[in-house]
Structure 1
């Protein structure tokens, strides 16, 4: 693939974009940001978001599931917006900043119009449109910080003819941003490992004899120190939990196939195919240091998490996405260099944007109205039911005394349901989780639990039925369940139970405690 310089008429994805590529990139970013705001306003909080907001209510150095940066950001956002959909706005705006950094990175490596194409493809991809772009998850801050750190080093590694970048500035900025990336998500380490591979494989290994990279590394270590201190205080619980998720469960080709298919769907098939094709083609062109730079940053994350599914027996398809993030500049370069490809890049761009708009607005509308269940689709088959907020639960619990500060302790039976409960109850009552998988709730002490306080157990009816027998060993008294149906537009979709209990003996059923 050669990087020719076609005429401006064929460079741009759409003829009506401004002649200046920086302005064109801003138009694309602003358009997708507006789409994300509408999407965020339509869709309720997912399971992970509800759990995150509940955990973020209590500031800590770090947290069980992930490093703290996105939780700190969520905490500040809740102080401003409460728990309305607008609490997502800082994350939406952060991804707009990430998109601009991708434009600048791609423009430095391959030209400004390649940067416009990269930004368009990135924002039209389903995962990047929804998860880091709209939701309260660690991937948003992670990608922003990784992009900023990589851009700082790209200026040092690939300067323009009239530039004389300062190595101290570049490495200190990179250290700060990579440290903040580590403060966002543990998987940032794979991108840093890719950077080390690039240094060792190229003439840039000379920087290893310079003190600036080590000063940057020290700054990165300082940035992630809250995570290290929290883990030290808590028996390395978070690191052990994340490391255990990749544990061996035997060879599983099924899990591997599901991992590949999941990435294909998350990226959006019409973007995944050209993205993977460009990545495969680039493997044959690693003599170009610019392409080697991006592939080195991308490959460790993609390969590790994809191959991990072979021996772990499972994996989540969004885990490799920070690796695919660095392939988009390569895709942008290919689009500029091949305007006569079939199908045409412009046609592909039009369809990609149209499908992104239709899917975002369609999923948002389904989530807001419960349209699928109105058509007879069972709630368990509706992917938006996880975004159903349990708002009605708060009013019912307030009537029972929970919500006055010294009323019953409210407990869930699993971390994901606990997040929904926590979001509905807020600071008005103590909320925690008992049972086999409390996640971060295990680090939220509620002393009243063991002092004879009344308890209200809240769970989905199915969850309560599965754990009901074990609850008898956990409490002195377990009362009769009261049912509560919640849904959208007055139509019931989920059945909850509210069960009074007293005299907590154990956080875990005896049968489970004995097998641990």
Structure 2
């Protein structure tokens, strides 16, 4: 590492990871969420049932140029690279803030800022879950660089005690884009507010720039408000019910914390703990407010996890923690801390090896298993050829739609068999009801059944179809390993639920 500067090594590491992402992006099909958000771009609208519209808008130009999964995945890859760059820059800003505000309190010299930035970037590269969002575009992929941008603006405020009009305008744009990305961006906005409140004086309240930022942010989220107002506020009602989850239990909170550490790697947690131990003995209010970019979303999601939550929801928060972790690890990296330094090195190497092992499992199609449901990687293969086959069967048998029995089966079918409408045969309201409506009584359709989430055909005299007949089957095999099976049934005379 002596032959290059820390910033050069950070760029090299990000480049290598990006190449791996790029190669993997061309090797696998869309996941259920990716296909769902690509359909957002295909059916462009002011907003959508379960999320704000930016995740669809940002893909709209590309899907009109190509249907290649690898090329469409350039967007999340660029956002991941931007997030890594912002992690490095935010680390430098925090380093400067520590020198500026804590110069009289530091008991030991700070490591070089570039070294801190490198360590922060390494903690991100060694984190398993962010690689998933670097390949597949989710709302969290977009919210991550925006959250880091808001953190950068907060740091500029703390260092200068003021923002000029252009910076206020940029802050408003970032807040608006955050609101267009995901509803949980409100947690990041709350962390930003705490930073402003952490200073003794509050001149920003009477600043024209503050109100300019608020006006820009409100203007940018108007499409979401307008769409919800014309759709009975279904997004807000869905999110409130979705966040509540099922019956609350403490064991789910404990499981959530354990899963979080596993998904994002213990190096981030260790680095943050070292930072707190080394540098939080002074200016606790300011640093505590900055920690809010991690703590506020994480604690809220931890509380909600008692009723159920998903691991990737906290991704923006962990990226905001990485700069603190980088400074903490950089301070312990020199060999004078021999035991701790070796432990950090071993931890990073183990995490990187686990990431590479995960990539290998994805490319191989997962671990061989008798039960398809026990191999989650099987979900990433077969949908493209199944969708194309479904479209061909539907045309041959003169049916004008496809049906599935769960919404998670609908997104890939709708994307790979487009423009055929896909009906979800359940009583749960979702985005597909808005796009395609309900299957008409008396209609015939092609029912797709996937072995990874198998259902009995809905046949009945008072509800369901009059009859369903399997007319074709497709088995998905990768490297000699059976992954899943698709059954295509011609169903007639739909009676309704």
- TM-score normalised by the chain length of structure 2: 0.87
1:128 aligned residue: 130
1:277 aligned residue: 273
Q: Compared with structure 1, are the counterparts of its residues 58 and 121 closer, same or farther at alpha carbon in structure 2 (3 Å cutoff)?
A: same
Q: Compared with structure 1, are the counterparts of its residues 467 and 315 closer, same or farther at alpha carbon in structure 2 (3 Å cutoff)?
A: farther
Is the 1:127–1:267 Cα contact (8 Å) retained in structure 2? yes
Residue 372 of structure 1 aligns to a residue whose secondary structure is coil
Q: Which residue, 480, 485, 491 being the options, matches 2:475?
A: 485
Structure 1 vs Structure 2 CA RMSD: 2.9
**CA distance in structure 2 between the partners assigned to 1:290 and 1:105 by the alignment:** 15
Q: Compared with structure 1, are the counterparts of its residues 402 and 154 closer, same or farther at alpha carbon in structure 2 (3 Å cutoff)?
A: farther
1:458 aligned residue: 448
Larger CA deviation: 360-369 vs 379-388: 360-369
Q: Which residue, 38, 57, 72 being the options, matches 2:42?
A: 57
**CA distance in structure 2 between the partners assigned to 1:190 and 1:286 by the alignment:** 26
Larger CA deviation: 179-188 vs 406-415: 406-415
Q: Compared with structure 1, are the counterparts of its residues 255 and 350 closer, same or farther at alpha carbon in structure 2 (3 Å cutoff)?
A: closer
Give the superposition deviation at 1:395. 3.8
**CA distance in structure 1 between the partners assigned to 2:297 and 2:413 by the alignment:** 34
Residue 411 of structure 1 aligns to a residue whose secondary structure is strand
1:388 aligned residue: 381
How many residues align? The count is 477
Larger CA deviation: 435-444 vs 60-69: 435-444
Q: Compared with structure 1, are the counterparts of its residues 466 and 341 closer, same or farther at alpha carbon in structure 2 (3 Å cutoff)?
A: farther
Give the superposition deviation at 1:371. 5.3
1:445 aligned residue: 436
**CA distance in structure 2 between the partners assigned to 1:45 and 1:139 by the alignment:** 17
1:328 aligned residue: 322
Residue 202 of structure 2 aligns to a residue whose secondary structure is helix
Q: Compared with structure 1, are the counterparts of its residues 165 and 104 closer, same or farther at alpha carbon in structure 2 (3 Å cutoff)?
A: farther
Q: Compared with structure 1, are the counterparts of its residues 246 and 275 closer, same or farther at alpha carbon in structure 2 (3 Å cutoff)?
A: farther
Give the superposition deviation at 1:403. 8.8
Q: Compared with structure 1, are the counterparts of its residues 151 and 49 closer, same or farther at alpha carbon in structure 2 (3 Å cutoff)?
A: same
2:99 aligned residue: none
**CA distance in structure 1 between the partners assigned to 2:61 and 2:178 by the alignment:** 19
Is the 1:66–1:186 Cα contact (8 Å) retained in structure 2? yes
Give the superposition deviation at 1:453. 4.5
1:196 aligned residue: 193
Pair 1:87 & 2:72 matched: yes
**CA distance in structure 1 between the partners assigned to 2:486 and 2:429 by the alignment:** 19
Q: Compared with structure 1, are the counterparts of its residues 349 and 247 closer, same or farther at alpha carbon in structure 2 (3 Å cutoff)?
A: same
**Map of 1:179-218 to 2, 5 A cutoff?**
179-203=176-200, 205-218=202-215
**CA distance in structure 2 between the partners assigned to 1:438 and 1:393 by the alignment:** 25
Q: Which residue, 258, 275, 295 being the options, matches 2:291?
A: 295
1:144 aligned residue: 145
**CA distance in structure 2 between the partners assigned to 1:295 and 1:351 by the alignment:** 23
Q: Compared with structure 1, are the counterparts of its residues 231 and 275 closer, same or farther at alpha carbon in structure 2 (3 Å cutoff)?
A: farther
Structure 2 residues without counterparts, runs of 5 or longer: 96-112
Pair 1:26 & 2:33 matched: no
**Map of 1:191-270 to 2, 5 A cutoff?**
191-203=188-200, 205-247=202-244, 249-269=246-266
Is the 1:24–1:116 Cα contact (8 Å) retained in structure 2? yes
**CA distance in structure 2 between the partners assigned to 1:457 and 1:282 by the alignment:** 61
**CA distance in structure 1 between the partners assigned to 2:168 and 2:349 by the alignment:** 37
1:337 aligned residue: 331
1:155 aligned residue: 156
Is the 1:478–1:501 Cα contact (8 Å) retained in structure 2? yes
**CA distance in structure 2 between the partners assigned to 1:346 and 1:93 by the alignment:** 33
**CA distance in structure 2 between the partners assigned to 1:355 and 1:290 by the alignment:** 32
**CA distance in structure 1 between the partners assigned to 2:329 and 2:355 by the alignment:** 25
**CA distance in structure 1 between the partners assigned to 2:282 and 2:186 by the alignment:** 22
Q: Compared with structure 1, are the counterparts of its residues 250 and 362 closer, same or farther at alpha carbon in structure 2 (3 Å cutoff)?
A: closer
Q: Compared with structure 1, are the counterparts of its residues 210 and 39 closer, same or farther at alpha carbon in structure 2 (3 Å cutoff)?
A: same
Pair 1:365 & 2:360 matched: yes
1:82-137 CA distance string (max 9 Å, x none): 14322111110121111111211111221333122111212221122222x22111
1:280-330 CA distance string (max 9 Å, x none): 6489546256523421222210111102223x2x22222233222221111
Is the 1:157–1:204 Cα contact (8 Å) retained in structure 2? no
Pair 1:348 & 2:344 matched: yes
Is the 1:42–1:364 Cα contact (8 Å) retained in structure 2? no
1:117 aligned residue: 119
**CA distance in structure 1 between the partners assigned to 2:201 and 2:164 by the alignment:** 12
**CA distance in structure 2 between the partners assigned to 1:188 and 1:116 by the alignment:** 27
1:474-501 CA distance string (max 9 Å, x none): 4453322344333324643223322222
**CA distance in structure 2 between the partners assigned to 1:495 and 1:167 by the alignment:** 60
Is the 1:150–1:174 Cα contact (8 Å) retained in structure 2? no
